[in-house]
Amino acid sequence: MVDESSPNPVLIVGCGLSGLTVALEVARFKKVMLLTKDDPTISATAWAQGGIVHLTKDEKSIETHVQDTIRAGDGLVDQDVLKFIARSGYKATEWLINHGVVFSQDKKLNQLHLVLEGGHSVPRIAHAGDATGRAILDVLIQKAIQHPNITILKNTFVIDLIENQHLTKLSHSNNIYGVYALNTVSNEVSTIPASHVVLATGGMGKVYQYTSNPSTATGDGIALAWRCGCKVANLEFMQFHPTCLFHAGERSFLISEALRGAGATLEHRDGERFMAKYDPKKELAPRDIVARSIDFEMKKHGIEHVYLNATLLDKDYITEHFPTIHGKCKRLGIDITKDRIPVIPAAHYSCGGVLTKINGQTNMENLYAIGETACTGLHGANRLASNSLLECVVTGLAASESIVRSKFTHNQQIREYEDSKPIHGEADVIEIFNSWDELRTIMSSYVGIVRSTSRLNKALKRIRLLSEEVRELSEQYRPNKDLLEVRNLVICAELITKSALKRKESRGLHFNKDHQNKLANALPTVIRSNAII
């Protein structure tokens, strides 16, 4: 039965796995509104090739996963959070299967086909071919579209969260009352009241030049939460996926880690393998080690990329288990059963985000952040492969329970959004794109895989100048999608850089040439500000 006592819906910003998990669960009891700034089918979930960690209730299965995650997270993992997720992990694949997701099967054993990925000690990755995310998303979006208690608004970009200052009569509570949202087609701004707001907008990979993320990954949820005073944590830990396709016609296509798990090797042009110099696990070392090793080899030899060689694998195995990669590369003139794949590290996943409890709750009673937008502490200093989809479902279910139990409701009168400013001219549009290009160059050059204190300080100075320019544009003109994205990315860039400067050591994904040793105590980097940016 749906609770009709609240006049406002639960508002979920983002249509990836975490947002859809919350939407489908909460909609059993409350009205839900799903917002997405683009088409609902575009999200990082759709691009997740490898799969989801599959756990059972077996203690050995749980304990080995716990140890692998701690090892990958380089001592910074919140072990209480990890153990909760590991012990609840069986619910994730169970929940997805119950909703109609079809995973690849091991026909001989009559069970899920599980594969090995980097950092894992045993095969435990459930997958749907090499397009797991797409298989999950297609099923859940259809469920959401058909659900009578879910309304989906596409092409709807959240400008700001509605706080006390936006009410006609000020309240003394620490709550969010809804959002101001821009329709990116009509450019009209609407006021959307909500009983609870869930930020599930994904990551911020587009702050870098090379990324495996979709165009939507502009750090929107992190920036929204930051502007209203939420804490952020561990943003210096940006995971660079070691193997993104290097090709002029396709700059964001991921070559799944599972291909290395199946036996593909990293090589130079002359066929020399190099990973044994860096880690005894070679190509199956954790992602931070593999990405840093490739980066070092590229700089050492002055080359633009290295090669991933899958030609020694069985052709039928490749076409059966990696049809997406095989098909995409073949359309670009690379037959991976015969040709090596040119690859380069690319920004992939943010291990940090808005600081939350295990159920996604922020320091505001009715504001939640989940998925890549959040920092629960699960990933520590480096995410273990395929833990992200697991976290999305487990924390999504926990967030749903919290929201359904919550009695918070409001009937506050909200001020209308001030939109009397002029529309951008052509010169201003060019300036916005120039700012974005400059920001990505700064971040890739100074705040990338290998950092130094002097280069981080240079980056921070330049980012602050860009921030001031973007602020001026925001004050002068009505919002549009491009300006809002740049505004959010500038905030995220500054937070990443500040976090990197605060960490006086090298740990996990954060490597600083001036602080190469690891401190005895692993502590999270937490930043909070009430400033409006």
Q: Determine the Cα–Cα distance for residues 370 and 78; give it in Å rounded to an integer.
A: 16
Q: Determine the Cα–Cα distance for residues 409 and 279; give it in Å rounded to an integer.
A: 54
β-bridge mates for residue 106, sequence order? 111
- The letter for the amino acid at 235 is L
DSSP string, 8-19: S-EEEE--SHHH
What is the enclosing helix (H) or strand (E) of 496? helix 481-502
Q: Which of 229, 255, 192, 169 is nearest to 10 (CA)?
A: 192
What is the enclosing helix (H) or strand (E) of 470? helix 453-476
Q: Which of 296, 359, 311, 271 is nearest to 81 (CA)?
A: 359
Q: Determine the Cα–Cα distance for residues 274 and 293; give it in Å rounded to an integer.
A: 8
Q: Determine the Cα–Cα distance for residues 264 and 257; give it in Å rounded to an integer.
A: 9
Q: Are 12 and 156 in contact (CB under 8 A)?
A: no
3-state secondary structure of 127: coil
Q: Determine the Cα–Cα distance for residues 524 and 231; give it in Å rounded to an integer.
A: 12
Catalytic residues: 287
Q: Determine the Cα–Cα distance for residues 47 and 104; give it in Å rounded to an integer.
A: 17
